Amino acid sequence: MMPSLTFWGGVGSVTGANFLFQCDKKNILVDCGLIQGGDYAEQENEKPFSYDPSLVDVLFVTHAHIDHIGRVPKLVKEGFRGVIYSTLETRELAKVMLADAFRILRAEALKKGKKTFYDESDINDAFGLWRDIPYHTDESISDNIKFKLLDAGHILGSSMVEITFRHVRENGWKKIVFCGDLGNSPSLLLRETEKVTGANYMVMDSVYGDRNHEPPEERKTRLIDIINDTVERGGALIIPAFSLERTQDILYEINNMVEGGQIKSIPVFLDSPLAIKVTEIYKKSIANFNGKVNNEIKAGDDIFDFPKLKFTMRRDDSVAIDDVPNPKIVIAGSGMSAGGRVIYHEQRHLSDPKSTILLVGYQVAGSFGRKILEGEKKVLINGKEIDVRAKIVSINGYSAHMDSDHLLEFVGEAAESLEKVFVVMGEPKSSLFLAQRIRDYIGVNAIFPERGKPYILNY
Ligand SMILES: [Zn+2]
């Protein structure tokens, strides 16, 4: 069997990562993510897998974002009994992320009077198959397939999967690297994305394949300006934030701004049970933070705590935020306003010209966040029409994703040995643009693969 690669999800879209690598009679899957964004996504998630999950030997989970893990329980439900590998942090984060995803799935299904496409027991079964391994530990799947995890610097526990495989007939070794999502280094909290060396094949994300972020100093200045502006106008600052990484980045940033006297000390609410749970895992994982953050912690700073910060776990506390006079900051999920408590705060503040909605993450096409970002003046929330009068601003510098120039630089550093780069996890325009840049500037064969077509990895 010639080694081959088939992309069953995550092509032409930023969600639904699901890549099948076949080699030495082994079926190796990398990520099994949820497809996100509207009714079409829902139908796609419910469809059976295009391959037989019972024949999959190994599943690698690069990181705990739901677009990389959301269909793992479904894989188990459809017969997967192999081994799941990830870092310890990814496994711990996956527990809270999957529990939350199931809660949402069940509520949605109930509303529509249908069944969920996997059961709670499938989540438990998945963790029974899950083995955590540290970065840089050499492991093997067979005599002809070895692997290790490298730090992707994207979110806590995120990894790249480096698989080295031998072609029995040719008796030569080749290396393929699944990058997962690459981090926007230097990250506020995490270590730098590791360099990849000696890879022949690379599968890389391209969420920001056609755009660059503002530099880190600019993003911080912008956040300070936006907070001070909201204080001056006497409004509320609502930040729809992804519970995993973005929220912790923003908390850390506000912590430094308050302690540095760059902003006034005003009430700040973290109004997301999921984000609160994730933050607790972050607090336990300081060994994964970069040197600067470690030094701050050693010097006695609680990096996720400052005066007037309140975690509102219970619904009553969440509702009571309304009674706290402006100015105030509310950080709540979901990051694209597709659900979660942020909807309630948006319903309350979108029509208030004194208030500001700050978008700090990627807004998928068709999402509520994308609509207000693109300037829609009337929106529907819970069946009610609301005039958008609040200021809508965005900062993309807090993205956890590497931008176009850095993706190019990343490939450039590995160029010497690279034979082919597969550009995935982006909207088509973005993936095609990045693939073109890789070919033009680095001279490496880069393609935007087709879904479901097996690509033979030639010798
Ligand atoms: Zn991710």
For the record, the structure tokens of 441 come out as: 């500037």
Q: Could you report how far apart the first and last alpha carbons of the chain are, in Å? A: 13
Distance 441 CA to ligand 1 centre (A): 26
Distance 439 CA to ligand 1 centre (A): 25
Distance 15 CA to ligand 1 centre (A): 9
Distance 459 CA to ligand 1 centre (A): 31
The answer to whether residue 170 scores a pLDDT higher than 80 is no
Distance 55 CA to ligand 1 centre (A): 27
- Segments in 182-245 forming alpha helices (H): 216-233
Chain mean pLDDT for the chain: 95
Position 215 scores a pLDDT of 85
Domains of the chain: 4-211+400-456 (3.60.15.10), 216-394 (3.40.50.10890)
For the record, the structure tokens of 350 come out as: 């979108």
Distance 425 CA to ligand 1 centre (A): 10
What does the pLDDT average to over 371-385?
Answer: 93
Summarised one tens digit per residue, pLDDT across range 184-217 is 999 999 999 999 999 999 999 999 999 999 888 8
Position 266 scores a pLDDT of 96
Distance 183 CA to ligand 1 centre (A): 9
The full DSSP string for 123-186 is HHHHHHTEEE--TT--EEEETTEEEEEEE--SSTT-EEEEEEEEETTTTEEEEEEE--S---SS
As a whole number of angstroms, the longest Cα–Cα distance in the chain is 72
What does the pLDDT average to over 224-238?
Answer: 97
Distance 402 CA to ligand 1 centre (A): 11
Q: Compute CA 390 distance to the chain's CA centroid, rounded to the nearest angstrom.
A: 28
Distance 350 CA to ligand 1 centre (A): 28
Distance 325 CA to ligand 1 centre (A): 35
Nearest partner of 49 among 23, 26, 31, judged by Cα: 31
Distance 458 CA to ligand 1 centre (A): 29
Distance 291 CA to ligand 1 centre (A): 23
Q: How many whole angstroms separate alpha carbon 190 and alpha carbon 159?
A: 12
Distance 327 CA to ligand 1 centre (A): 32
The answer to whether residue 459 scores a pLDDT higher than 70 is no
Summarised one tens digit per residue, pLDDT across range 60-100 is 999 999 999 999 999 999 999 999 999 999 999 999 999 99
The answer to whether residue 363 scores a pLDDT higher than 90 is no
Q: Which of the four pLDDT bands, split at 50, 70 and 90, describes residue 362? A: confident
Q: What is the share, in percent, of the chain residues with pLDDT greater than 90? A: 88
* Residues 387 and 378 sit within 8 Å (Cβ to Cβ): yes
What does the pLDDT average to over 429-453?
Answer: 97
Distance 181 CA to ligand 1 centre (A): 5
Distance 65 CA to ligand 1 centre (A): 5
